[in-house]
Every structure is written in C-alpha cells, then in structure tokens.
C-alpha cells in the first residue's frame, strides 16, 4: 500500500481558494466604495442641512424685500385692473426668481471713482448640478448614477453611450425631462421645487427686469444663501473626488488579486466588511505587486477633514445680524 506523507495529506485537506472574476471584483469594489462614501458623506449631509436652514430664512427675507418695494395693496390693485382691462390693466407674474442690488462705488485702473452696483440672483428653483448633489443618496438608492457628469471631469470628449444613458435616466427621475407615457400625477423633485415658493410680483415674466434695492446686511445675507447652495454642489464634487481617488488605487490592486482571501485580507486591514457570501461566481486573474499590506497603506487617509461650514456659523450666531 502506498503511503501518504504529511505534506500530501495537508494539501488534500486544504480548502479550495475562491478565485476572482470581473463580477466578483465589482462586488468587492462596491463594498469599498460604500465604505469610503460613508466616511465623508456627513459633510454633504451638513451642507444640505445648512442650505435648508438658509432657504427658509431666505424665503422670509425676500418676501420682506419684495413687499417693501411692491406692497400687497398695489398687487391687489393691479389684479383688479387686469380683471377689468385685461393686459392693459398691467402685468403680474408669480415668480421664484429675484434680483437684489445695492449701489456701490468702484475705482477704475486710473483711480477714478464711478457708480456701480452689487447684484445677486436669488432663486428658489433647482439647477441640475444642485439637484444631483441634493438628491444623490435617493438617486443611488434607485440604481441611478448621480456622478456621471463628475466622472468626465469637464472633458466632454469622454461622453459615451453610458454617459448619455445615465444623464437621461437621472434627468427623467429628477423631472428635468418628461415623457408623455409617464404618470403625470407623480410630482418629481424639479416640479416640487419649482412650486415650493413663489411671490406675486408686478411686471413681466422676465426676472431680471425686476431689481430690488437692499441694504448691505441684506445683500450679504443673500450672498450667504447663494453660497450655501454652491456648497452643496462643492461637497458633492469633493466627496466624489475623494472616493474616486481611493477607488482608482483599489481597482488597480483588485485586478492583480487572483483569490478572494487576498481581497479579504485587504478589507480586514482597511476596515471594510467583506465575506464570501457576497460572491456569486469564480474566475481568475494574475497576481501582481499589490499586496494587501501595500494597498492598504496606499488607501490610508493622509489629509485632515475640514470642519468649517455654514451650519457652524448658525450655531455661533454669526448670521444673526444679516437675518434679523
């Protein structure tokens, strides 16, 4: 009878290693992406909360400004005139778009002073960049890609069929494009925001034709309101850039890993929950220089998080002078 030595017996009892294929690598990458997004998404959440606070204050403030320049009794008078004389009686328009201005003095290159104005466009509808940032989590929960535009980094030559498919799907969900086949009773985000806040104004539908003069404090408040909206967009961009930088490094490493236990070792070092039940199939690729130890080091955070944001200003009371 042929004897089996200890080395051969060990190899026979050794569990088979799970090999990786493209599908498994995507599952693993998705776990890492969720992990890194969770690390930084609080800043986007805080930016949205800050904007929401500013928006409610801005509604109050713009109504005060508009009604100071266009009293409600004047609006009511023109409405009666329109009822009696049609368009000859005047024009009214219910709008969510407003321009405020403040006279200022500027100095030209030769040191001569001249009159100018400081102007801010105050809007309560929703732009596309803002919408993708504000509704990012909701879009992702529906299997949509809110980051499609950020992924090309302003290089429009990178637009491909997938880009246009993602764009169309996101715009349709948000309400920027609609189909006659859709259920018209469903209110999409765009229409919700479009009708959330409007004021009756005297004049035409051309928003820029109505410019309301305000003092310096009021002007500064509206600038902070606009900045809070811009900050939502900026935090979305920074979140995407942070995560994508990590993922580029990770994808290189995953391509080099042949076995699941290599990805598992990396996940354990980084702190990502990963187990074989998440995997469905098996395939293989060649192993290269990316060890779990080295890749974990590359994925470490080197920068400190910046905690300054507008919501902190609210807590410190720095906006009170402009709001009250």
Cβ neighbors of 202 (< 8 A, separation 6 or more) are 70, 74, 75, 78, 90, 91, 92, 210
Mean pLDDT of the chain: 86
Which range, of 64-78, 85-99, 280-294, 306-320, averages the lowest pLDDT?
280-294
85-to-76, 81, 157 alpha-carbon distances in Å? 14, 6, 55
Q: Is the pLDDT of residue 303 over 60?
A: no
The domains of the chain are located at: 17-124+197-323
Cβ atoms of 198 and 95 closer than 8 Å: yes
pLDDT at residue 283, as a whole number: 37
Contacts of 318 (CB under 8 A, 6+ apart): none
CA 172 vs. chain centroid, Å, equals 17
| pLDDT tens digit sequence for 235-273 | 999 999 999 999 999 999 999 999 999 999 999 999 999
Of the candidate ranges 22-26, 32-36, 140-144, 310-314, the one whose mean pLDDT is the lowest: 310-314
Answer for the pair 131, 189: CB distance below 8 angstroms, yes or no. Answer: yes
pTM: 0.79
C-beta neighbour count of 290 within 10 angstroms: 19
Q: Which residue has the higher pLDDT, 290 or 73?
A: 73
pLDDT of 309 reads 53
Q: pLDDT band at residue 13, thresholds of 50, 70 and 90? A: low
pLDDT-based confidence at residue 200 (cuts at 50, 70, 90): very high
The pLDDT score that the predictor gives to residue 10 is 53
């Amino acid at each position: 009878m042929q004897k089996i030595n200890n080395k051969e017996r060990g190899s026979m009892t050794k569990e088979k290693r799970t090999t990786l294929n493209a599908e498994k690598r995507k599952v693993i990458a998705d776990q890492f992406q969720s992990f890194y997004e969770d690390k930084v998404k609080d800043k986007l959440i805080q930016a949205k909360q800050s904007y929401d606070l500013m928006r409610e204050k801005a509604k109050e403030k713009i109504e005060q400004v508009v009604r100071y320049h266009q009293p409600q009794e004047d609006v009511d008078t023109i409405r009666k005139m329109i009822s009696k004389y049609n368009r000859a009686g005047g024009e009214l328009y219910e709008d969510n778009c407003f321009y405020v201005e403040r006279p200022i003095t500027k100095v030209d290159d030769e040191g001569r002073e001249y009159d100018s104005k400081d102007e801010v466009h105050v809007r309560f509808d929703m732009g596309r960049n803002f919408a993708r940032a504000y509704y990012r989590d909701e879009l992702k929960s529906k299997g949509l890609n809110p980051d499609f535009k950020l992924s090309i980094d302003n290089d429009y030559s990178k637009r491909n069929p997938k880009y246009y498919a993602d764009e169309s799907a996101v715009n349709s969900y948000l309400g920027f494009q609609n189909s006659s086949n859709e259920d018209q009773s469903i209110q999409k985000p765009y229409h919700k925001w479009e009708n959330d806040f409007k004021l009756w104004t005297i004049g035409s539908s051309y928003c820029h034709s109505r410019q309301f003069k305000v003092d310096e404090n009021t002007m500064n408040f509206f600038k902070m309101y606009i900045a809070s909206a811009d900050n939502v967009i900026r935090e979305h961009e920074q979140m995407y850039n942070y995560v994508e930088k990590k993922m580029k490094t990770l994808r290189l490493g995953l391509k080099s890993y042949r076995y699941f236990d290599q990805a598992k070792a990396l996940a354990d070092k980084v702190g990502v929950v990963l187990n074989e039940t998440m995997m469905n199939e098996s395939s293989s690729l060649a192993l290269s220089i990316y060890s779990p130890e080295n890749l974990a080091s590359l994925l470490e955070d080197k920068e400190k998080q910046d905690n300054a944001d507008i919501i902190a200003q609210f807590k410190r009371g720095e906006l009170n002078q402009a709001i009250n």
